[in-house]
């Protein structure tokens, strides 16, 4: 009976894996978009759960690292290309038998194309020179690395702080990142945002089926696969010696240090791993929606991730991931308005009230979340009977 949670988990994975292939509703694209977004939030909520629920490091900067990952791949794909000939006017470097061309930063102007050095060169070439954009997957990898390196640097700087001090520092860091992105209009285009290529900009063929750049199935499986990868890494870490030390830090940091645990090292490591996951989710999501703006970093988005983790179960990253998917679907479902007694209830507003009430009820009456206790209950099925049987067998012997 101990395998019940694992079997239920496999059934849930199988359900999401088969869903795009069997669902045939008229609102197919919309439902797929909701689930892709749900997987995105599930990665953020589960990684934040590992950081806060397992390691006891309450950070408000998770969305900042997600934004670093998103803007890392956006800037890479926007400004770098490979050309077979030098432009003579852009910044460029020899790259094997080609040239690595870096476009000039021109921001948002009324004469953008006229100031774009690459566009000027392409106009002069008249199609005689091949210009190749950077691979999307390389941009995602670089965005993930950027988020992880940023997490490492911030962790080395602030993880000696505790409780409210850490939360306030990471909140300030998030606002700084947002302010820098908004202010550097020449590079980031500010509120106008940066456009990105799609995950499969030229389409893709899977098992003999052709998918265009706008089809939902490829990004669905990419985001779902990333979620499973992150959960697999978190599970491995939680069950390892690392997970034992991290939980020791959460329970009593002084006692763990007295027993020889390098507390700063383990806190920095878990911070780096979880921020890299957030950056990876941000990079993939950026290519899915094909635009990034500073609005990604609003405090409301961070609050939503925290609420999803809390409602799912902040001390169980699997429960946090399931809670994020469930709440994303629920919030979208609650957008449908209805009429009671001739009075129309606008659920586009009241759905957030419902969400807030659900959060307060969870905090007051279900401190371990709504989903984590269910997982624990299934895990304990048959344990009492097994224990009694072992005691009887021992007594007989």
pLDDT of residue 26 exceeding 90, the answer is no
Number of domains in the chain: 2
Residue-by-residue DSSP string for 319-342: HHHHHHHHHHHHHHHTT--EEETT
Tally of residues, the chain: 397
Residue-by-residue DSSP string for 138-204: HHHHHHHHHHHHHHHHHHHHHTTS-HHHHHHHHHHHHHHHHHHHHH-HHHH-GGG-EE---TTTT-E
Same domain, 298 and 239: yes
Of the pLDDT bands very low, low, confident and very high (cuts 50, 70, 90), residue 111 is low
Same domain, 53 and 120: no
| CATH number of the domain where residue 50 is located | 1.10.3470
Contact by Cβ (8 Å): 35, 19: yes
pLDDT of residue 389 exceeding 70, the answer is no
| 357-371 confidence digits (pLDDT tens) | 888 888 888 878 888
pLDDT given for residue 377 in this prediction = 77
Same domain, 204 and 89: no
Same domain, 119 and 238: no
In the block, tokens 């265009």 appear at 212
Domain of residue 305, residue span = 3-76+136-333+366-396
Reference 57, options 269, 323, 233, 276; nearest CA is 269
Reference 183, options 108, 117, 111; nearest CA is 108
Same domain, 248 and 187: yes
pLDDT of residue 397 exceeding 60, the answer is no
In a domain, 178, yes or no: yes
pLDDT given for residue 395 in this prediction = 59
Spatial distance between the Cα atoms of 141 and 42, rounded to a whole number of angstroms? 20
- Name the 3-class secondary structure at 251: helix
Same domain, 160 and 96: no
In a domain, 254, yes or no: yes
| 142-176 confidence digits (pLDDT tens) | 999 999 999 999 888 887 766 677 888 888 899 99
Between 200-209, 301-310, 373-382, the lowest mean confidence (pLDDT) is in 373-382
Same domain, 121 and 173: no
Same domain, 119 and 169: no
Averaged pLDDT score across all residues of the chain? 85
């Amino acid at each position: 009976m101990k395998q019940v949670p694992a079997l239920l988990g496999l059934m849930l994975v199988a359900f999401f894996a088969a869903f795009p292939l069997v669902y045939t509703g008229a609102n197919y694209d919309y439902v797929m978009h909701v689930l892709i977004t749900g997987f995105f939030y599930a990665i953020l909520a589960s990684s934040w759960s590992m950081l806060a629920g397992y390691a006891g490091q309450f950070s408000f900067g998770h969305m900042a690292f997600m934004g670093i990952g998103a803007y890392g791949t956006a800037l890479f794909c926007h400004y770098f290309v490979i050309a077979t000939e030098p432009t003579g006017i852009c910044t460029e470097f020899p790259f094997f038998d080609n040239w690595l061309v870096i476009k000039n930063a021109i921001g948002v102007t009324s004469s953008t194309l006229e100031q774009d050095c690459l566009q000027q060169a392409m106009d002069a070439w008249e199609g005689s020179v091949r210009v190749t954009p950077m691979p999307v997957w390389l941009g995602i990898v670089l965005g993930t690395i950027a988020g992880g390196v940023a997490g490492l640097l911030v962790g080395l700087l602030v993880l000696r702080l505790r409780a409210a001090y850490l939360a306030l520092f990471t909140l300030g860091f998030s606002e700084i990142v947002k302010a820098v992105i908004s202010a550097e209009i020449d590079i980031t285009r500010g509120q106008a945002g940066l456009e990105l290529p799609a995950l499969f900009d030229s389409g893709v063929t899977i098992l003999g089926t052709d998918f265009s750049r706008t089809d939902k199935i490829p990004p669905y499986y990419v985001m779902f696969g990333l979620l499973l990868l992150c959960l697999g890494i978190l599970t491995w870490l939680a069950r390892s010696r690392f997970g034992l030390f991290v939980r020791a830090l959460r329970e009593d940091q002084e006692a763990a240090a007295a027993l020889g645990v390098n507390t700063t090292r383990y806190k920095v490591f878990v911070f780096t791993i979880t921020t890299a996951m957030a950056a990876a989710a941000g990079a993939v999501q950026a290519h899915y929606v094909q635009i990034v703006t500073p609005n990604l970093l609003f405090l409301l988005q961070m609050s939503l991730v925290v609420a999803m983790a809390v409602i799912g179960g902040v001390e169980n990253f699997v429960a946090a991931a399931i809670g994020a998917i469930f709440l994303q679907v629920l919030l979208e479902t609650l957008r449908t308005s209805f009429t009671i007694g001739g009075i129309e209830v606008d659920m586009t507003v009241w759905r957030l009230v419902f969400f807030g009430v659900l959060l307060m009820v969870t905090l007051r009456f279900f401190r371990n979340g709504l989903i984590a206790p269910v997982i624990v209950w299934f895990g304990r099925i048959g344990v009492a009977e097994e224990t009694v049987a072992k005691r009887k067998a021992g007594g007989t012997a």
